[in-house]
Amino acid sequence: MSPLADFTFILIAYLIGSIPFGLVVSRAIGGVDIRQYGSGNIGTANVLRTVGKRAAVLTLLGDMLKGFLPALGVKLLGGSELLVAAVGLAAVLGHNWSAYLKFSGGKGVATSFAVLLVMTPVPALLGVLLWGGVLLAFRYTSLAALVSSVVVPPVILLYDDVGPYFTFSVVLALLIFFRHRVNIQRLLAGTEARVGERVR
């Protein structure tokens, strides 16, 4: 692929990643601006607490597909691992800093793991299982995301060498910690909201 084609794929991935499914779904189903409720985040957890399960499921699917489809498309077209990683990162950055929301956005967890599923399916699935286990044990989506993001990179090393996919997983972990910095403060203070707690 030419540099122009690579740039085009990356730009398209960013614009697709920027689609704020949580905001769109919450307005369509609940008639609310999700940014004005709960944590103010447009991600699945806040949608679940504020609008309900159906909206949360649709948000999760949307946030995953906008990372999964661009990465898969480039991979099927024969793009290099570096290009697949760059496209995946662009989708995550679009979710976190959306061009449609004045460069604000979500925390990129669902989008990140969807991209990892394209790159390295086994480590990604293990990360999802760990995420689910932590969530069931403690009922904190933020804690589940933080723990699983740390575990995935070393697992990738067991299946692959140090390369674009491993580097991508490390960058994702750093982004997830950065985007969860307020959640980390609330976890330490014991004020973080648990799954199932509704927002009035």
For residues 73 and 134, what is the distance between their CA atoms, to the nearest angstrom?
Answer: 31
Beta strands in the chain (DSSP E): none
Q: What is the pLDDT of residues 11-30, one digit of tens each?
A: 999 999 999 999 999 999 99
The residues facing 13 across adjacent strands are: none
**Side-chain half-sphere of 36: how many Cα atoms within 13 Å?**
6
Q: What's at 50, amino acid-wise?
A: T
Q: What is the pLDDT of residues 52-72, one digit of tens each?
A: 999 999 999 999 999 999 999
Average pLDDT rounded to a whole number, residues 30-55: 90
Q: What is the pLDDT of residues 170-183, one digit of tens each?
A: 999 999 999 999 99
Long-range CB contacts (< 8 A, 24+ apart) of 72-77? 72/118, 73/9, 74/9, 74/13, 75/118, 75/119, 77/1
For residues 59 and 177, what is the distance between their CA atoms, to the nearest angstrom?
Answer: 21
38 pLDDT exceeds 60? yes
Per-residue pLDDT band for 194 (boundaries 50, 70, 90) equals confident
Q: What is the pLDDT of residues 85-139, one digit of tens each?
A: 999 999 999 999 999 999 999 999 999 999 999 999 999 999 999 999 999 999 9
For residues 61 and 63, what is the distance between their CA atoms, to the nearest angstrom?
Answer: 6
Task: Give me the pLDDT at residue 166, please.
Answer: 95
Average pLDDT rounded to a whole number, residues 151-158: 93
